[in-house]
Structure 1
């Protein structure tokens, strides 16, 4: 059952930013916040350091427990009363967090945990969770705002319905207004006609979601331009940006040049990446802001 908010904890300040954001999200959802640190087991002795394999393992566990302790303190400071679980596991962090994702409704990482360049690159924890994780992934950049609208990109891709389901559910949960952006890029065309066609298409696309979430304040916008730059610009005033990816096992949509890649590296607020094949729960509780 997906009844946890999961955070992978390491020694970075970015991870603590993720913990603070996730603590508030877990409290809103009324679910536990699960903090997990994965440490590699040493495969051999280190005679030059005069340490045995057992001592290396023990030191790694001690360090991991210390990191989890600091993360737990940051979580409680961010949201007192949050239900907290901590787990120290041995293994490849990608494998460990993929396993943990099976029991989570949301996985959260700090932007600095993605890769040395802060992007979704092959082999990174962020890319692994975005492609193979069984829940949406949120990438937290810096100190996240608790006010402002949520922002979601709406297109005609296979992930569009799942992305909108997640965005509307989050907006209903937090009581935040939802700005829905649709972009277009046709050249040598009657711009007024195209713009009106896109506006009508967006209104039709949003109709069932407005009916399902009548309390959510929706601001639909049609903008001429590329999705990445447009969402970055409107994201300056958002508390969360929600985007999709092409689906399970498809790497292309998360590599260089894609909207998800651009936002994960440069967005001014947290970014939720939602795959087409995920089951997104709809929350019905009263919003907690």
Structure 2
């Protein structure tokens, strides 16, 4: 066993979908799987055991044991060769899962938990864990996984380098194609150095597009050498990053992005693109924080 995948469960349909995905990820990595339930004491002093006049299988303790046992059984059915462990930790889910992420190579959560409100696409635990987790976080929806490529939202920034690493490794694990997608507009593209400052138009038509294509190629170059078995498609699109990536997620089996892009503001834990994808991506989303972003 070379690592650990952690999945948070709360008995919701979304967290059970996360268990399936986490078991799959652990099998691909040859890693162990730890199923974690964060137990929050009720505000009122409700006894943990069954009520004296109620059924013997009632009570909070039995409910927790049942939902964890169901998750363990589901994981073992999905990946019998994976070593599955479980733990119930007293504490608020975000605090518990953030602590668990320190020893994990991947944390998997459902997009919405038991406390999710109707109409909300992503629960608060998923959003906050993506911002504060110490390892990549995979957010899973209940829909079946599409058979398409892994889509990497790449912007060529140093902050996104770890996301590129993760996407290539994941494509190798899954034996999947990788679509490296870079979107740009004239408002977010850095200007290339002028070729001749004395000319009225220092950069000829097409210079911005060529510069963006170069940035993507440079971001991928070393990774393609390390993963020659991964088929990679480069795609540079003139358009708003959020809209381009959300549309690409419709046919993807996984979307991978960094937590913050090249135009992110210092001090922000999540950029606008990763936040938008958390709420609107049509496939599972992996958010990978860059070096120095953990606090």
Q: TM-score, normalised by structure 2?
A: 0.81
* RMSD of aligned residue pairs (Cα, Å): 2.7
Flag structure 1 segments of 5+ consecutive residues without an equivalent: 47-51, 280-289
SS at match of 2:7: strand
* Structure having the higher Rg: 2
Report the counterpart of residue 170 of structure 1 in structure 2: 170
> What does the per-residue CA deviation read over 1:44-78, in whole Å, with 9 as the maximum and x for residues that have no partner?
535xxxxx47769x932221111111112222232
User: Partners of 2:255 and 2:205 in 1: how far apart?
Assistant: 27
Report the counterpart of residue 270 of structure 2 in structure 1: 253
Report the counterpart of residue 105 of structure 1 in structure 2: 105
Report the counterpart of residue 289 of structure 2 in structure 1: 275
Distance verdict in 2 for CA 1:205–1:61, change over 3 Å:
same
Shift of 1:43: 5.8
Shift of 1:233: 1.1
Aligned residue runs from structure 1 range 1-289, under 5 A: 3-42=3-42, 45=45, 52=47, 59-113=59-113, 115-116=116-117, 117-119=120-122, 124-145=124-145, 147-186=147-186, 192-246=206-260, 250-251=267-268, 253-254=270-271, 258-277=272-291
Alignment check: 8 A CA contact 2:250 2:282 kept? yes
User: Partners of 2:24 and 2:10 in 1: how far apart?
Assistant: 19
Q: What number of residue pairs does the alignment pair up?
A: 265
Distance verdict in 2 for CA 1:272–1:53, change over 3 Å:
closer
SS at match of 2:134: coil
User: Partners of 1:183 and 1:59 in 2: how far apart?
Assistant: 52
SS at match of 2:176: coil
Alignment check: 8 A CA contact 1:131 1:250 kept? no
> What does the per-residue CA deviation read over 1:170-192, in whole Å, with 9 as the maximum and x for residues that have no partner?
111111111001111116x9764
Flag structure 2 segments of 5+ consecutive residues without an equivalent: 52-57, 188-202
Shift of 1:89: 1.6
SS at match of 1:159: helix
SS at match of 1:112: coil
SS at match of 1:88: strand
Q: TM-score, normalised by structure 1?
A: 0.82
Alignment check: 8 A CA contact 1:38 1:89 kept? yes
Q: Which moved more, 1:108-117 or 1:211-220?
A: 108-117
User: Partners of 1:89 and 1:208 in 2: how far apart?
Assistant: 41
User: Partners of 1:14 and 1:270 in 2: how far apart?
Assistant: 12
